[in-house]
Amino acid sequence: MGNNLVQNIIIAVIWIVAAPILGGILSGIDRKITARMQNRFGPPIMQPFYDFFKLLGKERITVNQTQMVYVMGHLFFAIASLVMLVLKQDLLMLMFILAFSTVSLIMGAMSVRSPYSKIGAQREIIQMMAYEPVLILMVVGVYLTTKSFMISSVFSESTGPLLYNLPLVFFAFLYVLTIKLRKSPFDFSTSHHGHQELIKGLTTEFSGPQLALIELTHWYDLIILLGLITLFFAKPIWVGIIIALVSYFLELVIDNISARVTWRWMIKATWLIGIGAAMINIVWLYLKMKV
Amino acid sequence: MNEYLLLTVAILLPAFSALLCYALRNKAVRSFIVVLTSLAMFGVAGGFVNLLLASGGTLKIGVDAHIIGWVIKVLDLLLMGYILYIGFTLRKYLVVVLTFLQLIPLILFEGGLLFGTPHESEIAFVIDYLSLIMILLVSIIGPIITIFATGYMEEHEHHLGLKKSKQPRFFMILFIFLAAMNALVMTDNISWMYFFWEVTTLCSFLLISHDGNSESVKNALRALWINLSGGVAFISAIIAIYSVYGSLSITEIIEKTKTGGFVGIIPLAIGLLCFAGFTKSAQFPFQSWLLGAMVAPTPVSALLHSSTMVKAGVYLVVRFAPAYANTMLANIVAVVGAFTFLAGSAIAISQSNGKRVLAYSTIANLGLIICCAGIGSKVAIGAAILLMIFHAVSKGLLFLCVGTIEQEIGSRDIEDMQGLAKRMPFTTFVIVVGMISMLLPPFGVLITKWLAIEASVNSPLVLLCIVLGSAFTVVFWSKWIGIILTMSYKNSYKAEKLDFSVRSALSLLLVGALAASVLIMPLYNIFIAPHINSLNLADKAAGLAGSNGGVWLQGVGNITTGGFAAIPVFLLLFALMLLIPYFMRKTKAERIKPPYLCGENVDNDVRGLQFISPADKVDVVVVRNYYLTGMFGEGNLTLWCNALAGAIILVMFGVVI
Amino acid sequence: MGVISKSRKKSPWVIHYDCTSCNGCDIETLACLTPMYDVERFGIINVGNPKHADVLVVTGSVNKRNVRVLKNIYNQMPEPKAVVAVGACACTGGIFKECYNVLGGVENVLPVDVFVPGCCPRPEAIIDGIVLAMDKLDEKAKKMKEEKKKANQSVKV
């Protein structure tokens, strides 16, 4: 048991260090591919790291004393859910903690009397309302296939790849991935191209080191989400990783070919398509189980 | 002997204090009585815990059922008479009709005209862990709210400008309410339970109409007739059950239904009991009375929502859960609860009145409790009981906070609470902890949601309602927390001045909310797990532990059993969250900059409250929450939700007939 | 500080403020973002928010009405920061210099680090100016640090 604990701690530490490096490189590749798709040359792959360190070196400015607290919450709870993922813990709790991480950022954005950051926060809340049910339904789908909420059960001998049983849930998950990564057509809480109606939405009032930590959290988030995709094809794991990377590429394509939608449209579409697809999948699994 | 003493104190002491409060009209004396009674009730709660743990699960207390039975019969008639009087004087004939519908069967039944004089068991009080938890809620949260009320009502009457204080009457009813609740959860005699049930109905009427203006009387009457209709269902159920089993003992009834007695008229009777529970705990379509009850002074709302009244309804449903477990009735009860959870949470999004948000959230949470009771597996019942505890503590706390804030800022609108952290740092801290405890890990309410989702995976419809509903709860809570924590820079904070009673009540409940969450594991293992085991449920799915939540509850410390969410880890994260920024500021202070307003900030305004609009006019920056009324508006949804919920209840009766 | 100093030179985020420009310089500035010139090669991003920006690019001459906004935006930028005046008007006031309402070039109001002359300047020139500003930015940061060290030492003495 003690041995096990040490091993777990080592795994956790390795991932806590490795995830932002991987995440940063992936977002560098993201920017490069996006640039190539737009017929541009694009920044160096290491650009996200340059941005990160530059931001760390900036002067610390703030609007009130509490902003940094929320940024810390955003970061720590993202790390906590990453650790839960790599230690193969309860998937449902992982989703709750991941949600907490987002709520913390929303609180930070709302703690400031700034119109832009407030509206960004409201939009982020609406986004959460749209994607959170789908994430939980995905967890339920995993339960119905493996009879357990533990991620470790996905890796156990007796279960085949989840993708065979959960194709529609997988589709729904890809759908909400676009929202979760704040990619077009659902990038309306931060509007990630400058000079738009929301300035920078959620992150308007964060600057310097605060913004750097938010960026860092974003890399963690990216790795967690890609890790969750990997679960759909956990054995052999390299197939899962390829599927995750292909899905990420797909997100980039969608990001580049679509314009931003309104939040009403997003809620309706996500509930109809996302929840609809996931529910259909769950109902058929349920009926299959009954027989 | 000890248990008799405790029993007497638990029921008669509040009743006695009620009379004292009414008789002695001096404020200081009243406060003294309130504090003394509260301490005694805390003691009683502790005594029961000791006694029950020593006795190993159930405490059976025999009394002279004959004499007490007669006393209760007489009081029953007096009560009905008083309600009739109310109905006639206020010309609400629906109340009169509903009272007669109860009075006639009651007289026929108790008078022995139907089945001869009903046999009343000698063992009239049976206390098990479920009762114990209810006793703890009633005798700890109830008195704390009463203490709060001593300070609050003074201020309240000051606002109203009353000449003659109505406080003696107010405190009398509060204490009677607590006495009735204590008795209701302890008794094993279903007809006595019915009496206490009606007492709470009457008390809630009197309390809601306390301010005496036309709106409060109107809302109080609505509460009265809706709850009376539940009472009609209750008395019909009692008669139906007695006609088959010839017994009034709840334990015996549940035992018989479990061992093959769930046939004939019994399903209908149990369905009627559930119906009574729905009305009392304000499930859709009966939610309107609880919303109307918001006109009452805050301690009343707090009491109705947290430990008494609505909890009586869910107590009944949870108490009888083993009787109807694994039947079609149970499935539909689960759907009713889950639907209420969904509808309540959805409408709460569109509300900007703080008290109404709390009310809808209460309705939703009660729905979740009832849903868990309906699912009826061991994990689900465990979740239901846990949620009863956490909801009671947190909601009591939140209502008291909103009341305090309302007296300070003169509004209960969420938008007006912006920047509250600067005006009332202490209350802000308390209310934020209260709200976080309804929403986020590692607090208990989230854990119960976790359990509820785990328990409901085998019924897709219920699952969908819970999943959507919990997404909605995130929306309205985080909007509210965000508004309260909105603040501009301020150098130093000083706690606001509050009445001592108010401050102590808030602090006590805050400690309670934190303690319940930190001690969730012992709470579950010592009080709830043995109760669920003693029910001997034939579980559909997993055992007591369930798949994860339960396992986690049994071994929080164990990092490899899904228990990463261990409370120490969360505490560590919270501490880091607060300490790192604190020390960063200590080593080198950040520079304060105003919020970005497109460069149009007014000079020297660090807080960013104003901007320069066209033609050099100085305007105020207004930031508001989204309420999505187009989608979740009360006016849009209520009718459809009521219709749908009514349909589900009709289906329920169709199934059991 | 090696990493941060290196990163600073590779990631200047720009906020662009149009004072009283005839829009010629603005068009050329935005042309830098197009695939033709692609400033993201140098890590330059056009952000809309002074709190995220390192370099303030100003086009057009400053007048009495917009000087307040310009100063406000400059003040909201966190240190270290640089100002690039793009175009003849921003450098000197240009043909509007003698107008009754014009205060002249940006340097009358803010400390300008790089002047990019031209009416209007070519995108290459603007990019060159911003790249120059990056070096200035780093120098500034180092100078600030030394000054702070000196200040600390003098306090100790």
Q: What's the rounded Cα separation, in Å, for the pair B559 and B112? A: 61
Name residue, tokens 């680090």: C113
Return d(Cα B557, Cα B569) in angstroms, integer: 10
CA separation, residue B587 to residues A57, B354, B573, B580, B599 (Å): 16, 40, 21, 11, 30
Distance CA B144, CA B146 (A): 5
Do the bridges between strand B610-613 and strand B617-620 make them parallel or antiparallel, or are there none, so unpaired? antiparallel
Most B CBs within 10 A among C68, C73, C110, hence the mutation to make, goes to C68
Give A222's pLDDT tier (boundaries 50, 70, 90). Answer: very high
Flag the least confident range among A146-160, B39-53, B463-477, B549-563: B549-563
Q: Are A228 and A173 in contact (CB under 8 A)?
A: yes
**B354-375 helix and B328-349 helix, angle to the nearest 10 degrees:** 160
Residue B565 pLDDT exceeds 50: no
Q: Is the pLDDT of residue B492 over 80?
A: no
Domain membership of residue A106 (yes or no) is yes
pLDDT in tens, B639-654: 999 999 999 999 988 8
pLDDT digits (tens, 9 = 90+) for B142-159: 999 998 888 888 888 888
Residues A264/A271, Cβ–Cβ less than 8 Å: no
Is residue A12 included in any domain, yes or no? no
Task: State yes or no: pLDDT of A157 exceeds 50.
Answer: yes
Contact criterion met (CB < 8 Å) for A65 and B585: yes
Q: How far is CA C14 from CA C51, C56, C75, C113, C138, in A?
A: 11, 6, 15, 14, 15
CB–CB contact B596 C70 (8 Å): no
Which DSSP symbol is given to A259?
P
Give me the phi and psi of A108, to 5 degrees please.
Answer: -60, -45
- Look at C78 and A207 and tell me if their CB atoms are within 8 Å: yes
Q: Which residues contact A201 (CB under 8 A, 6 or more apart)?
A: A109, A116, A117, A119, A120, A123, A124, A188, A189, A190, A191
Question: Is the pLDDT score of A75 beyond 90?
Answer: yes
Distance in Å from the first CA to the final CA of chain A: 40
- Domain membership of residue A159 (yes or no) is yes
Measured N-to-C along each axis, helices B167-186 and B27-55 cross at an angle, to the nearest 10 degrees, of 10
Closest approach of C72 to chain B, Cα-based (Å): 5
Neighboring chains of B (3 or more beta-carbon pairs < 8 A): A, C
- C7 to A204: CB separation less than 8 angstroms, yes or no: no
- Give the contacts of B235 (CB within 8 A, at least 6 positions apart): B102, B105, B106, B109, B194
Residue type (1 letter), C38 = D
pLDDT single digits (tens) A113-144: 888 888 889 989 998 988 999 999 998 888 88
> Is the pLDDT at B558 greater than 50, yes or no?
no
3-state secondary structure A177-240: HHHHCCCCCCCCCCCCCCCCCCCCHHHCCCCCHHHHHHHHHHHHHHHHHHHHHHHCCCCCHHHH
Interface check for C75 against chain B (CB to CB < 8 A): the answer is yes
Determine whether B479 is exposed, middle or buried from the number of CB atoms within 10 Å of its CB (0-12, 13-18, 19+). Answer: buried
Cα distance between residue A244 and residue A226, in whole Å:
5
Of C35, C42, C141, the CB nearest to A40: C35
3-state DSSP helix/strand/coil percent for chain C, to nearest 5?
A: 50, 15, 35
What pLDDT is attached to residue A114?
Answer: 85
- Is A42 within the bounds of a domain? no
At B76-92, the pLDDT tens digits run: 889 999 999 999 898 88
Say which amino acid occupies C25: C
Which strands, in side-by-side order, build the sheet including C82-86? C45-46, C13-18, C55-59, C82-86, C114-116
Helices of type H across C11-122: 24-31, 67-76, 88-92
- Residue A56 sits at the chain B interface (C-beta within 8 Å): no
How close does chain C come to A67, measured CA to CA in Å?
A: 14
Residues in chain B: 657
CA distance B378 to B383: 9
SS3 at position B612: strand
Q: Is the pLDDT of residue B233 over 70?
A: yes
Q: Do B564 and A87 touch (CB under 8 A)?
A: yes
Residue A50 lies in a domain: no
As given in the structure block, the two tokens for residue C148 are 């702070």
Res. A20 pLDDT band, cuts 50 70 90: very high
Q: Is the Cβ–Cβ distance between C58 and C98 less than 8 Å?
A: no
Q: How far apart are the C-alpha atoms of A28 and B333, rounded to whole Å?
A: 53
Whole-angstrom distance, CA of residue A64 vs CA of residue C44:
29
In total, chain A counts a number of residues equal to 291
pLDDT digit string (tens) for B398-427? 998 998 888 888 888 888 888 788 888 889
| Coil, strand or helix at B249 | strand
**B316: Cβ contacts below 8 Å, ≥ 6 apart:** B193, B273, B274, B276, B277, B280
- Beta carbons within 8 Å of B555's beta carbon, 6+ residues apart: B521, B561, B563
Query: Would you place residue C157 in the very low, low, confident or very high pLDDT band (cuts 50, 70, 90)?
Result: low
Alpha-carbon distance of B38 to B42, in angstroms, equals: 6
Q: Number of residue pairs across A and B with CB atoms under 8 Å?
A: 195
- The reported pLDDT for the residue numbered A196 is 65
Q: What is the pLDDT of residue B557?
A: 42
* Token pair recorded at residue B312: 């009586």
Each residue's pLDDT tens digit, B155-211: 888 888 777 788 888 889 989 999 999 889 888 888 889 999 999 999 999 999 888
pLDDT for B563 beyond 60? no
Sequence-distant (6+) residues with CB within 8 A of B508 are B144
Question: Which distant-in-sequence residues (6+ apart) come within 8 Å of B314 by Cβ?
Answer: B277, B281, B366, B369, B370, B373, B384, B388
Chain A adjacent subunits, 3+ CB pairs under 8 A: B, C
Measure in Å the smallest separation between the Cα of C138 and chain A Cα atoms: 10
Contact A116, A199 (CB under 8 A): yes
How far is it, in rounded angstroms, from Cα C54 to Cα C10? Answer: 11
**Contact call for residues B224 and B83 (beta carbons, < 8 A):** yes
**B590 inside 8 A of chain C by CB:** no
B54-70 confidence digits (pLDDT tens): 887 788 888 777 888 88
Residue A253 located in a structural domain: yes
Position A90 in a domain: yes
Cβ–Cβ < 8 Å for B372, B391: no
DSSP letters for B359-371: HHHHHHHHHHHHH
Q: Is B397 within 8 Å of B506 (Cβ atoms)?
A: yes
Count CA atoms closer than 13 A to A97's CA, side-chain side. Answer: 29
Instruction: Determine whether the interchain pair C76/B603 forms a contact, defined as Cβ–Cβ distance below 8 Å.
Output: no
Q: What is the mean pLDDT of residues B228-257?
A: 88
Report chain A residues whose CB lies below 8 A from the CB of B481.
107
CB-CB under 8 Å, A51 with C78: no
Band of residue B566 on the pLDDT scale cut at 50, 70, 90: low
In DSSP notation, B393-405 reads: HHHHHHHHHHHHH
Q: How far apart are CA B59 and CA B56, in angstroms?
A: 8
- A28 in any annotated domain: no
Give CA–CA dist C32/C39, Å, rounded. 6
pLDDT for C156 equals 58
The pLDDT of residue B525: 78
What is the four-CA torsion angle of B310, B312, B318, B324, rounded to 10 degrees?
Answer: -100
Sequence letter at residue B371:
C
Taking only the tens place, the pLDDT of each residue in B576-605 is 888 888 888 877 777 888 888 888 888 777
Mutate to test the interface with B, among A61, A63, A271 (most CBs of B within 10 A): A63
Rounded Cα distance between A286 and B458, Å, is 7
What count of residues does chain C have? 157
Minimal CA separation from C51 to chain A, in Å: 6
Q: Which helix (H) or strand (E) holds B62?
A: strand B59-62
Cα–Cα distance between B11 and B228 in angstroms, integer?
23
CB B299 within 8 A of CB B290: no
Q: Does C41 touch chain A (CB under 8 A)?
A: yes
Determine contact, residues B454/B462, Cβ cutoff 8 Å.
no
3-class state of residue B619 by DSSP: strand
Single-letter code of the amino acid located at B277:
G
CA dihedral B507, B511, B514, B519 (to 10 degrees): -170
Which domains are delineated in chain C?
Answer: 2-156 (3.40.50.12280)
User: What's the CA gap between A180 and A257, in Å, rounded?
Assistant: 18
CA distance to partner chain C, nearest, from residue B609 (Å): 15
Q: How high does pLDDT run on average in chain B?
A: 84
CB interface of C with B, residues 88-147, below 8 Å: none
Contacting residues of C for B618, CB less than 8 Å apart: none
CB contact under 8 A, B481 and A84: no
- Host domain of residue A259: 60-290
- Structure tokens given for B174: 């509060």
Q: Which percentage of chain B shows pLDDT scores above 90? A: 17
Tell me the per-residue pLDDT of C35-86, one tens digit each, with 9 for 90 and over.
888 888 888 888 888 888 999 999 999 988 889 899 999 988 988 889 999 9
Q: Which residues of B touch A5 (CB under 8 A)?
A: 559
Residue B560 has a pLDDT of 37
Tell whether omega for the bond before B442 is within 30 degrees of 0, i.e. cis.
yes
Domain ranges of chain B: 1-63+122-188, 64-121+205-280, 322-556+624-657
Please name the member of B562, B595, B626 whose beta carbon is closest to the beta carbon of A90.
Answer: B562
| Strands B59-62, C13-18: pairing kind | unpaired
Which pLDDT band, with edges at 50, 70 and 90, does A1 fall under? very low
Number of domains in chain A: 1
**Cβ A115 vs Cβ B621: under 8 Å:** yes
